[in-house]
Amino acid sequence: MKRTIITLCAVAIGWMCQAQIPVYQDETKPIEERVKDALGRMTLEEKVAMCHAQSKFSSPGVPRLGIPELWMSDGPHGVREEIQWGSWSNAAWTNDSCTAFPALTCLAATWNPEMAALYGKAVGEEARFREKDILLGPGANIYRTPLNGRNFEYLGEDPYLTSRMIVPYVQELQKNGVAACVKHYALNNQEKQRWNVDVRVSERAMYEIYLPGFRAAVQEGGAWSIMGAYNKILGTHACHNDLTLNRILKGEWGFDGVVVSDWAGTHDTREAAMNGLDIEMGTDSRPDKGISGNKFRAQDCYLGDDYLQLLRRGEVSEAALNDKASRILRLIFRTAMNTKKPFGNMDYAAHSRVARTIGGEGMVLLQNSPTKKGEQPLLPIDPSRYGKILVVGDNATRRLCMGGGSSELKVQHETSVLTAMQAKYGDKISYAKGYQAGKTMYGSVEEVEQSVVDQLRNEAVTAAREADLIVFVGGLNKNRFQDCEDGDRQSYDLPFGQNELLSELLAVNPRVVLVLVSGNAVRIPNPDHIPAIVQSWYVGSELGPTVVDVLSGDVNPSGKLPFSFPVKLEDCGAHAFGEIGYPGDGVKVEYREDILVGYRWHDTKKIPALYPFGHGLSYTTFKYGKPALSAKKMTADGTLTVTIDVTNNGQRAGKEVVQLYIGDDKSTLLRPVKELKGFQKIALAPGETRQVTFTITPDMLKYWSEATHSWQAEPGKFTAYVGSSSTDIRGKVKFELEAPL
């Protein structure tokens, strides 16, 4: 509110001094006229000053002209607590708590763009209420390896799913007058060696796999800002990379917004000046000049005084500076100087309901079987079946909104799984910790003494003997080297001795429900011995109630996996070529699996996943009819439709995600067996049937040609697959493309 008043006062002063409002302050004028007018009033020094940070999370405006600064906040799962002006220490405010929304892996697992819109609207309201102009998110990087510490911040392994989920998030967020800053552009698929690793990747893999989510955010979502990544791409750092920023983002895609560096992701003044970076953030030392600590000033940034001197000497283009300043002004007019934007709100109750709704739709029932023939599956939990329910696991009580790096949140409240189970089932619930995760520390993780490990395990196993049902809440957490920024996982296994604990629990009591809290796939030894497994993700403030909603059956699970669960790490394409494929040789990492990421690798190489992309069960069952095709041939300017009837033939209302994949039956170059090209989430009452229709367009048949630097398709036969997952195909139809595209 106070910044809106300041802006209005500046407008009033300008009107009184000049008898009319300057064009740049007149919101009735087109933005481009306002940008041109403001730019013409600015000095060289004022333009340069806008191109770098003034504090940890703000960049300057033009005080002389009444143009305010830009204020930023980490996201994308909630608005980060306030940070001090010049250090990473917390500002110790008492009014900067937030709602923690589910991690983006959970959002992707909903397979529901309506949930993405709901998410963007709610988090945008809180960001606007906190007077933020830019929210640093959402993330659009592709899940390449299950070891990546930041996978939980992204939307899975498939570019189509990522694209369809990111667009409504961006659109609804920005309706609050808060810019989405889509990150981390691009090819930031590991945290290990992230600062300098050089990603070697084919042009085709970039365009088909790693860039579509960003392109959709820009061209369909209208994103107002993009954040560069730390890594290098084909030899040049991503935050000042001519190929990705100038030629692709601003050139081919027509991006009119601002490129923001990741914090301390800028390394060179000339490259930053000419290769597409607009605002440099986070630089707090210059090793090349021996400046660090308290001696470092804002103007010591690469785009500070050094940039100004290059401009004055005519060594870099002033046109490039004017382009940067124009983009920054455009963003300020869209956000900080937009007096028509809503006020936002911090309605914890309403936003907690949003978080719980999204979390409920995103939880994935991986398997659910009875322990004996003739019995009902363990889930949903019917209290009349169980007298004693034992909850086991560190994650049942851990505060999981803390940690994880820049996504750490200061939440208004956070309800644990144990608390929610006690609220639902009362004195039936008992608890044994079972394992201890230790404390998070940068650079290392605290070891737990073996005597403590043995004691906790023995206590849990003893209690399990007397229980009628065990709910094991395990998985990962946000400690370093798990799901956390700046450190990849060190193993595909479950940490902290959970595999051994699970084996001992199952040996004394087979009635075990495993609740996996994580943003990544994990290796599950002997999964057939575990009757029920739920992938619950990091759900935020409402983790406990959301888990219990699904375990109890109050919510029928309908989530689908946004990435594959390999049986073992070597089954993942990124790990099939030795260390050069991940994490690299210390200088570079080579994406030798090329376009075969995730299920594309499993399908094409005939390597079954433990749980495939798109997999997710329900407490009801769905029957698919036979798919029908509108025609057998497609022309270059035509479309086809595929229709299929889906029936809920169970006893509970539920939701099903119907998935469309398309494969090129015969191609002159490598293509995956099939690729996701459509999905619809439908709600069905028991016995209800609905017809689902997909439209197949020519673009769905294309691949990226490096020879012509364009999208094209070869004539010939294609197959449309309709199913409940990438491997659970319920029907397929063939058609022919008559002419090349």
- What's the one-letter identity of residue 663? G
The packing angle between helices 417-425 and 543-552, to 10°, is: 50
Contacts of 302 (CB under 8 A, 6+ apart): 52, 266, 267, 268, 269, 272, 280, 283, 286
Secondary structure E strands in 595-715: 609-611, 622-624, 628-629, 633-634, 640-648, 654-664, 675-684, 689-696, 703-705, 710-712
Burial of 137 from C-beta contacts in 10 A (0-12 / 13-18 / 19+): buried
What is the token pair recorded at 509?
A: 């009591």
Length of the chain in terms of residues written: 741
Q: How far is it, in rounded angstroms, from Cα 515 to Cα 537? A: 9
Q: How far is it, in rounded angstroms, from Cα 484 to Cα 497? A: 19
Q: Measuring CA to CA, which residue among 242, 225, 220 is closest to residue 233?
A: 242
Query: 579 phi and psi, to 5 degrees?
Result: -65, -25
Element (H, E) at 694: strand 689-696
Contacts of 555 (CB under 8 A, 6+ apart): 360, 363, 546, 549
What residues form DSSP beta bridges with 279? 260
Q: How far is CA 531 from the centre of its chain?
A: 30
Per the CB < 8 A criterion, the answer to whether 694 and 705 are in contact is no
| Active-site option among 198, 262, 394, 571 | 262
Burial of 679 from C-beta contacts in 10 A (0-12 / 13-18 / 19+): buried
Q: What is the dihedral of CA 478, 481, 487, 490, to 10 degrees?
A: -150
Per the CB < 8 A criterion, the answer to whether 641 and 677 are in contact is no
Per the CB < 8 A criterion, the answer to whether 425 and 433 are in contact is no
Query: 561 phi and psi, to 5 degrees?
Result: -65, 130
Per the CB < 8 A criterion, the answer to whether 213 and 159 are in contact is yes
Residue with tokens 């790990």: 575
Q: Measuring CA to CA, which residue among 446, 596, 582, 602 is closest to residue 149?
A: 582
Q: Measuring CA to CA, which residue among 183, 271, 289 is closest to residue 227?
A: 183
Q: How far is it, in rounded angstroms, from Cα 381 to Cα 427? A: 15
Q: How far is it, in rounded angstroms, from Cα 532 to Cα 369? A: 6
Q: How far is CA 508 from the centre of its chain?
A: 39
Check if 74 is active-site: no
Residue 420, CB half-sphere, CA atoms under 13 Å: how many?
22
- What's the one-letter identity of residue 258? V
Q: How far is it, in rounded angstroms, from Cα 80 to Cα 135? A: 10
- What's the one-letter identity of residue 722? V
* Residue 610, SS3 per DSSP: strand
Q: Which CA distances in Å does 538 have to 94, 128, 218?
A: 25, 24, 27
Active site residues: 262
